[in-house]
Structure 1
Amino acid sequence: MNKPPAVDNRRAYLLALAAVLCWSTVASAFKLSLQYVSPLQLVAVAALVSTLVMGIVVTREGRWVELRVAWRRNWRWYLALGFCNPFLYYLVLFNAYDRLPAQEVLPLNYTWGVLLALLSVPVLKQRLWLQDLMAALVCYGGVLVIATGGNPLNLAFDDPLGVALALFSTLIWCCFWLLNTRIGGSAPVNLLLSFLCGLPWLAAALVVQGDWQWPPLAGWLGAIYVGLFEMGIAFLLWQAALMACDNTARISNLIYLSPPLSLVLIAILVGERIQMATIVGLLLIMLGVAVQQGILRRWIFSR
């Protein structure tokens, strides 16, 4: 039996910061990779790479017996999970990135935390708090600012379908994690089984699409990077950080460094000029998430 890791806060912070840095690069990686490959090709290659990473982790931790038991108990759930992620979630998300500037999709995707709290009420029978409703209003106010280019009163959307895809991806992501919560068990095992069940969906979609073209080297490298860091290594770093610390809240708060870092990298690597509407909308979304997590209230009463 594996022993729990000893508490080492310094190591935990370094691991968490490494995970945040990985996540901060993926929006730029998505946008750059989509210059060379289609959204479906990007999902398929990245999912295959991530499946290999999770397989190595499960092998290293000696969890194959646990994996077989989990499959026998919940195989129907894993088929549903595999359809949600990696197949549907990343296909929808990458199509959103294909249609919209990265700086717009990034903050829209961060509304999943508030949506998860709202969906937990009917799915997990959790209580709906006033702070959840306030957070939703603030968050989706930020969404409106970004989607309308800073003119929320006009309700004029530059690309309604792109915005709808970005927001729909958050719904899929929430459904994926709610299903995971219902199943329980080991995160690497659940992820590996989900991705193994998702690969046939991706293969079928490639066959139906029927226009696979061999990507250039830049496309392969981008897809491999996404598979390693968005779907694999970053998650493992984050999980290790949470296991090594004695204060999960402090580590979890580091995730809020990711959006501003992502915007900086989008400006540098992708060459997008960051719009004021994006900055204002992102601030509103982050404020809404802070309200939902109780961070703002703890900060006020601690002073």
Structure 2
Amino acid sequence: MTTLSVPDNRRAVMLALAAVLCWSTVASAFKLSLQYVSPLQLVSIAAAVSTLLMAAVVSKQGEWSGLGRAWRRNWRWYLALGFCNPFFYYLVLFNAYDLLPAQQVLPLNYTWGVLLALLSVPVLGHQLRTRDLVAALVCYSGVLVIATGGNPLELEFADPLGVGLALFSTLIWCCFWLLNTRIGGSAPVNLLLTFLCGLPWLAGALLMWGDWHWPPLAGWAGAVYVGLFEMGIAFLLWQGALMACDNAARISNLIYLSPPLSLVFIALLVGETIQMATIVGLVLIMLGVAVQQGALRRWLLKR
């Protein structure tokens, strides 16, 4: 007889909060780690650690038999996904963190949700809604505030390359998730195969650019932390939360806690003074995301 899992919303909230806490620390971990290692080194070590973690998860769940079947069905997709993430996405993102203060890259990276909705129109044939356009307008007005240091009318960007890389990383991330729509099955299996396909790209880049030197202990610690928490444990915690709750809406809004918590960690751990332009821009970006997801409309209807 099959035992059905009983929803446990309290456990789901605890798991979701743990995932949000993990995600809230990674911006600080990125910035601190890049003091000791290059962006390519950071993503290479972190990806290797995450691959080992996912292999352990697959082993614990007894899913190795499904690994071969998944590869035979979708090997072309896994090759494309592995190039997007971890190779290209994190390489671009970490270079953005290397050029800009963490407090600027963090909110810029959160625009991917709105961009995903816009890209799904031509790629997946979804309908373009009015709220998607409104969300994009609000969201990217926040980007403009952050990128210009609080002077959007002057259109003078402090570091155009860093801003461009941060926004380009959101495009890569959206492409990764659009490709993911083609694949079903086990999430740990898919992630393991994706990272296994990404590691050769990283190894090739290290050989081509000669970008390897033995990092100090602090560099290793930071890269391992990123691999475990940004690329692995947080994902598993969130997946567990979704499986434990009876309605994803119960935990979906908890993700809005991550950006302000991240700014607190950036101030405390990295030592950056949080600028008013960052706060205003972040509020606009999160407002845009809320409009896109319909959260703002649901909140107003409850009033």
Q: TM-score surpassing 0.5?
A: yes
Residue 4 of structure 2 is aligned to residue 8 of structure 1: no
Give the corresponding residue for 1:227. 227
Distance in 2, Cα, partners of 1:33 & 1:101: 13
Residue 6 of structure 1 and its aligned partner are, at CA, apart by 2.2
Give the corresponding residue for 1:74. 74
Amino acid of the residue matched to residue 262 of structure 1? Answer: S
Please state whether the residue corresponding to 2:182 is helix, strand or coil. helix
**Contact 2:114 2:136 survives alignment (8 Å):** yes
Residue 209 of structure 1 and its aligned partner are, at CA, apart by 1.1
Residue 189 of structure 1 and its aligned partner are, at CA, apart by 1.1
Distance in 2, Cα, partners of 1:16 & 1:111: 21
Distance in 2, Cα, partners of 1:247 & 1:81: 29
Residue 45 of structure 2 is aligned to residue 45 of structure 1: yes
TM-score calculated relative to the size of structure 1: 0.98
Residue 2 of structure 1 and its aligned partner are, at CA, apart by 8.9
Count of residues paired in the alignment: 303
**How has the CA–CA distance of structure 1 residues 193 and 139 changed in structure 2, closer, same or farther, with 3 Å as cutoff?**
same
Give the corresponding residue for 2:218. 218
Amino acid of the residue matched to residue 195 of structure 2? Answer: F
Higher mean alpha-carbon deviation, 99-108 vs 115-124, is at 115-124
**How has the CA–CA distance of structure 1 residues 77 and 147 changed in structure 2, closer, same or farther, with 3 Å as cutoff?**
same
1:189-208 matched pairs, under 5 angstroms: 189-208=189-208
**How has the CA–CA distance of structure 1 residues 39 and 2 changed in structure 2, closer, same or farther, with 3 Å as cutoff?**
farther
Distance in 2, Cα, partners of 1:208 & 1:297: 51
Q: Deviation string for 1:237-291 (max 9, x for gaps)?
A: 0000010001211201100000000000000000000000000000000000000
Give the corresponding residue for 2:301. 301
1:60-71 matched pairs, under 5 angstroms: 60-71=60-71
Give the corresponding residue for 1:112. 112
Please state whether the residue corresponding to 2:35 is helix, strand or coil. coil
Distance in 2, Cα, partners of 1:187 & 1:120: 21
Distance in 2, Cα, partners of 1:220 & 1:109: 25
1:2-151 matched pairs, under 5 angstroms: 5-151=5-151
Distance in 2, Cα, partners of 1:57 & 1:260: 31
Residue 240 of structure 2 is aligned to residue 247 of structure 1: no
**Contact 2:40 2:211 survives alignment (8 Å):** no
Unaligned 5+ runs, structure 2: none
Amino acid of the residue matched to residue 34 of structure 2? Answer: L
Percent identity, aligned pairs only? 82
Give the corresponding residue for 2:179. 179
**Contact 2:108 2:167 survives alignment (8 Å):** yes
Please state whether the residue corresponding to 1:185 is helix, strand or coil. coil
Distance in 1, Cα, partners of 2:97 & 2:3: 41
Please state whether the residue corresponding to 1:151 is helix, strand or coil. coil
Give the corresponding residue for 1:289. 289
Give the corresponding residue for 1:273. 273
Distance in 2, Cα, partners of 1:218 & 1:180: 34
TM-score calculated relative to the size of structure 2: 0.98
Deviating above 4 A after TM superposition, structure 1's stretches of 4 or more consecutive aligned residues are 1-4
Please state whether the residue corresponding to 1:11 is helix, strand or coil. helix
Amino acid of the residue matched to residue 257 of structure 2? Answer: L
Distance in 2, Cα, partners of 1:4 & 1:203: 43
Unaligned 5+ runs, structure 1: none
Distance in 1, Cα, partners of 2:109 & 2:54: 24
User: Aligned-pair RMSD on alpha carbons?
Assistant: 1.1
Please state whether the residue corresponding to 1:182 is helix, strand or coil. coil
